[in-house]
Amino acid sequence: MGYLKRKHWWPFIVGILFALVELLSFYLSKRPLGSSRGYAVIGSIIEYVLFPEHAKTVSYWSAYEPAIEWTVAVLVGIVSGSMFSSVYSGEFKFHVVPQMWKTCKGPSVSKRLFWAFIGGVMIGFGSRLAMGCTLGMLISGVIQLTPAGFIFMMSLWMGGMLMTVLFYNLKTVTFHRG
Amino acid sequence: MDAMLMRLKDTFDPSTIEAIKGPASLYGGLIVGFLLGIVLQKGRLGKYDVVSGMFRMQDFTFWRVGTPLLMFGMVFIYFFKDIGVVELYLPRTVILNQLFGGVLFGAGLAIAGYCPAIAACALGEGAIDAFVTMAGIVGGSILYAEMYDGSKLDRIVSFIDLGRVTFPEIFLVFNHWFFIMAFVFMCAMFLLGISMYDEFLRASFALIDKVGEKLGSAKTVIVERRKQKR
């Protein structure tokens, strides 16, 4: 258990363990890993609870029925597993503004939360448009040798680099590493 | 209010917690998610600094984790598929959807600094802004379902639909291990280079931190002296 107490593991080992988790998901649950579907199901549940008549008319929710299912359980599992690991190694700490954001965008809390929400909306829309997120489309797609995963990988990199140049405008170089 | 609680109760199906195996089982999802959470946290992946550092070309932890993940995952999945233990579950390839969706996803990732799984991991580490990002992702999904799905633009964009295909099927290669061999070889070379470069970056950033501390302390000393003179 001493190995679990370390702050971080070597990236190569982490990669192999990640691949084993992916294999476990294929074997145990008979479906590839994926997390963004869980958010869509949560959205479907919210609409069903608040406006049940309106939710029936939306055709997209027919594929995402309002029921707590496997992908939501994965999200709960990720949160609990990460909390267990960080508490066990003594790294758990409540914080709002990350260090790197502070150095180039200022320590304002409301600004960080606003941009986090806007980025989240873009991520949600983009992941529904691409039919998967980094876990469900990029990793699960590439390891099954589908063109979808490779296309998504390249376009994600393009969009991320472009937005970093536009949003953080490159003059603010941060001499800091997480 | 009572009707809302009743509907919330409706969303939970007790038959999903009976078995461990199977695509509908909640226990299976919890086990897989728990292990994934530990792996993500120990790999230092659930941090804004690491995700944003990847796009700023100063932290390549993601690439150092992702490259062995892709090569070993590919070998494992196809090996166990050939043995007959697991099956493939291919995603649909719709070219323009994945292109535009990926660009939008990457732009959001650069701003928020958390992708859907990483946001859950960061929430477990105690980052409050990750929770706001998760709320935003749910909002984006609802926005897609309400505004975009089934519209004229959607029909035009999703016109080039290749279906559920793989590269060996597209290029009519008789054995998929040719592709896996080439990919693994490329990945091994890439991993070697990126690991060396990342270690170099880590050493140089540690040096900058050390020098910066000394400069910072010198600066505060100078400022205090000026104040004393006044």
The tens-digit pLDDT sequence of chain B (230 residues) is 778 788 777 777 777 777 778 777 888 889 999 999 999 999 888 889 889 888 888 889 999 999 999 999 999 999 999 999 898 989 999 999 999 999 999 999 999 989 899 999 999 998 999 999 999 999 999 999 988 887 888 888 888 888 899 998 889 988 899 989 999 999 999 999 999 999 998 888 888 878 877 877 776 677 777 777 76
On whether residue A170 sits in a domain, the answer given is: no
CB nearest B34 (choices: A16, A50, A77): A77
In a domain, A59, yes or no: yes
Q: What percent of chain A has a predicted confidence (pLDDT) above 70? A: 94
Torsion of CA A85, A91, A96, A97, to 10 degrees: -120
- Joined together, the tokens standing for residue A86 give 């960080």
Contact at CB, B37 and A79, closer than 8 angstroms? yes
Q: What rounded mean pLDDT belongs to chain A?
A: 88
Angle between helices A70-88 and B26-42 in degrees, nearest 10:
40
Cα–Cα distance measured from residue A138 to residue B154, given in angstroms and rounded to the nearest whole number = 22
Low-confidence ranges of chain A (pLDDT < 70): 1, 170-176, 178
Query: A8 is in which domain, residue-wise?
Result: 1-94
Q: Which of A21, A56, A78, A89 is the best mutation test for B, with the most CBs of B within 10 A? A: A78
Which pLDDT does position B139 carry in this prediction? 94
B14 within some domain:
no
Chain A touched by B184 (CB under 8 Å): no
Q: Which positions ≥6 away from A112 have C-beta within 8 Å?
A: A96, A97, A98, A101, A105, B129
ipTM of the prediction greater than 0.90, yes or no: yes
Closest CA–CA distance from residue A98 to any residue of chain B (Å): 6
Sort out which chain B residues have CB atoms less than 8 A from A135's CB and list them.
115-117
- At A35, list the tokens: 């997390």
Dist. CA A124–CA B136, nearest whole Å = 7
Residue B6 falls within a domain, yes or no? Answer: no
Question: In chain B, which residues have their Cβ closer than 8 Å to the Cβ of A177?
Answer: 49, 53, 58-59, 201-202, 205
Question: A24 contacts in B (CB within 8 Å)?
Answer: 31-32, 35
What pLDDT shows up at residue A158? Answer: 93
What pLDDT sits at residue B31?
92
Instruction: Report if residue B146 sits inside a domain.
Output: yes
Domain-embedded: residue A119: no
Residue B136 falls inside a structural domain: yes
Residue of A31, A125, A153 to mutate for B, most B C-beta atoms under 10 A: A125
> Is the residue at B144 inside a domain?
yes
DSSP state of B91: P
Residues B76 and B68: their CA atoms lie apart, in Å, by 12
Query: How many separate domains does chain B show?
Result: 1
Sequence-ordered list of residues with C-beta below 8 angstroms from that of B97, at least 6 positions apart, any chain: A129, A130, A131, B157, B158
By CB atoms closer than 10 A (0-12, 13-18, 19+), residue A125 is buried
Asked whether residue A1 is assigned to any structural domain, the reply reads yes
Residue B16 in any domain: the answer is no
What is the nearest CA distance from A175 to chain B, expressed in angstroms? 7
Residue A171: per-residue pLDDT: 57
The answer to whether position B107 is within a domain reads: yes
Rounded Cα gap, residues B157 and B143, in angstroms: 17
CB atoms within 10 A of CB A107: 11
Task: Provide the number of structural domains found in chain A.
Answer: 1
Domain interval for residue B96:
89-165
Interface contact B69-A139, CB threshold 8 A: yes
Q: Is B104 within 8 Å of A79 when comparing Cβ atoms?
A: no
Nearest to residue A47, comparing CAs of B24, B143, B105? Answer: B143
Domain assignment present for residue B219? The answer is no
Q: Computed from CA positions of residues A15, A16, A21, A26, in that sequence, does the dihedral angle turn out positive or negative?
A: positive
